[in-house]
Chain A
Amino acid sequence: MSTASPDFRPERPHRCSPSVALRPEPFGALVYDFVTRKLSFLKTPELVTVVSGLADHPDVHSAVEAAGVPEEQRPAYLRALAGLKASGTIEERPQ
C-alpha cells in the first residue's frame, strides 16, 4: 500500500496524540492540538471512529476495519491517516 508519508507505518500500533483533542461535530470532528494550537477537521464520522479507536488496536489496519470502513474506501482512509501522522494528530504508540 503506498501512502503519502514514508514515515507512516500502518502495520504498527498508533494512537491519537496526547496533545490532541477531538470535538464531535455533525460532519465528523474538530481536531485541536494544544501544543501547535492548530485546528483541523476529520471530515467523516468513520474517520473519527478510526482515530479514537487507534489506541485499542494492535495496528492501523485493524482500527480501520473495526470502524466498518468499506474495503474500497480503505486506501483513501490510509492516505488521510498518513496526513494525520505527518501533521502530528496521530502518532506511533510506544510498545
Chain B
Amino acid sequence: MKLVEHFQYGLNSPICLTWELTYACNLTCAHCLSSSGRRDPRELTTDEAKRVVDELQAMQVFYVNIGGGEPTVRPDFWELLDYAIDHQVGVKFSTNGVKIDKARAAQLARTDYVDVQISLDGATPEVNDYVRGPGSYDMAIRALENLAEAGFTQPKISVVMTRQNVDQLDEFKAIADKYGAQLRITRLRPSGRGADVWDELHPTAAQQRQMYEWLLERGDQVLTGDSFFHLSAYGEALPGLNLCGAGRVVCLIDPVGDVYACPFAIHQNFLAGNVRDPGGFARVWRESELFQRLRQPQTGGACRSCQHFDSCQGGCMAAKFFTGLPLDGPDPECVQGYGEQALAARDGVVIPRSDVDHSRSAPRNGRTGKAPVLLQIGRRPDKACESSPIAGFDPRQVPVAGG
C-alpha cells in the first residue's frame, strides 16, 4: 500500500493540526473562514490550553499551526508559545502582524521552533485592504520589515488567492524575496464569512489555469498547504499529498476547544467533540464517530466515472458543503467544469451556514444563524484562516523506502 493510501485510513495522531486560540481579532477580513471578531467567553483558559499542549506532546504532535482570530491579541499568547516550544510542540503561528513590533521580532528571532506566517491578500494596498481592511497592508509590511531587521529566518507570507490577486503572483513572490520570506498561497474557501464573498472573489476558470501553470513552474519554491489539489485534474499532479486530509491527518481545535475535521469546516456536521470531554483531544481524534467515518474509503459518487478522479479525489469537502453541493460530487471549482454545472443545478437547495459566528456584526449571545458582514472595506484579519494540511512535505520525495 502506498503511503497516501495509509493516510486515508487515518493516523494515530494528526500530522497537521490547526489550533485557533481566540475568535478575537483586530481586523474584519471579508473572507474570514472562522467568522472571527469578538472573543468567546468560553475560550480555553491558559491552564486548559497548557493541558492541550501536554496532550499534544504525549501524542507526539510535533508542531501545530496556531491561528485565530488574531492569536497574538490573547494576553497569554507569548506564554503559551513558550510553553508549547518547551514541550516539544513546535509552533507556526499566523498573524496579521499587529503585535510584531521590533521587540517581539527580536524575541522571535531568538526562539527556536517557531515559524511566523504573515497574512497578506494583495501585493498592493488597494487589493489587500479591499478584503482585509484599511491599514492592514501597511501592518503586514511593517511586521515583515521588523522580522527582517531582527534577523528572523524565513518567515512565511500567506496569501489567499482571489480573483483580484491572481495577476499579482509574481509581485507576491518579489515581496517575499525582498523580505527573505517564503511565499505560501492557499485557496479561498466559502467558509465562515468567505461564503458571503465567494461568488465575487473566487478565481475564474481562466485564473485557475493561470495558477496551475504558475505552480507547475515554481511549485518547489512556493508552499500551498496542499490546497490546490483540485487543480491536478488539469493533468500533472502538483507537489503535495493530493488528498483531503480532514479527520485523517488534519483537524482543527477551535478557541472553545471544539474539534472539527478541518479548519475550513467549522459547522456542526463536522464537529467531532471537545478537548474538555472525558478522554480529551486524544479520544476525540482516535474514537469520534465522525472521524471514524471520514477514514472509511470514499465512494467518489458522481465523480467516480470521471477519468480525473484519481488525481483530484473530488476536491475539497468544505468547498462543496458550503456551496450546497453533495459531498460525493464535484468540487464547485472542478477544473473540468462539472462544478459549474452542479452549481447551476442547485435550484432550491438550502446552502448550509455555520452557526458559529463571532463577527462584530453578529448578535452577542453566542451561536446564531445570522449572516456575518457582507463585503465591506472592513478591518478584521483572519489570521490562520488558511491552514495547511501537511504543510511543506511531499511524501513522494521521501527516500525512506524499506523493503
Contacts and interface: CB of A to CB of B under 8 A. Distances in A.
B62 A28 contact: no
B400 A84 contact: yes
Contacts of B3: 27, 41, 43
B113 to A, nearest CB: 7
Contacts of A25: 6, 11-12
Q: Chain A: interface secondary structure? A: mixed
A37 B90 contact: yes
B20 to A, nearest CB: 22
18 contacts: A21-B60, A23-B12, A23-B60, A26-B6, A26-B11, A27-B3, A30-B60, A31-B400, A34-B62, A40-B393, A43-B400, A43-B401, A43-B403, A44-B403, A47-B400, A73-B403, A79-B401, A80-B400
B12 A24 contact: yes
A78 to B, nearest CB: 11
Interface of A: 21, 23-28, 30-32, 34, 37-44, 46-47, 50, 69, 73, 76-77, 79-80, 83-84, 86-87, 89
Contact of A46 (B11, B398, B400, B403): B403
A38 B403 contact: no
B137 to A, nearest CB: 29
A21 B11 CA distance: 16
A76 B402 contact: yes
B1 A27 contact: yes
B399 interface: yes
B395 interface: yes
Interface of B: 1, 3, 6, 9, 11-13, 15, 60, 62-63, 88, 90, 113, 392-393, 395, 398-403
A47 B392 CA distance: 24
Contact of A41 (B1, B60, B392, B400): B400
Given A30-B62, A89-B400, 6 more contacts: A26-B12, A31-B400, A34-B62, A34-B90, A42-B400, A43-B3
A34 B393 contact: no
Contacts of A87: 399
Contacts of B15: 30, 39
Contacts of A34: 62, 88, 90, 113
Contacts of B398: 40-41
Please provide the 6 A-B residue pairs with the shortest distance between their CB atoms, ordered closest to farther: A47-B402, A83-B399, A44-B402, A23-B60, A32-B62, A27-B6
A21 B62 contact: yes
Given A27-B1, A34-B113, A47 B403 contact: yes
A46 B401 CA distance: 11
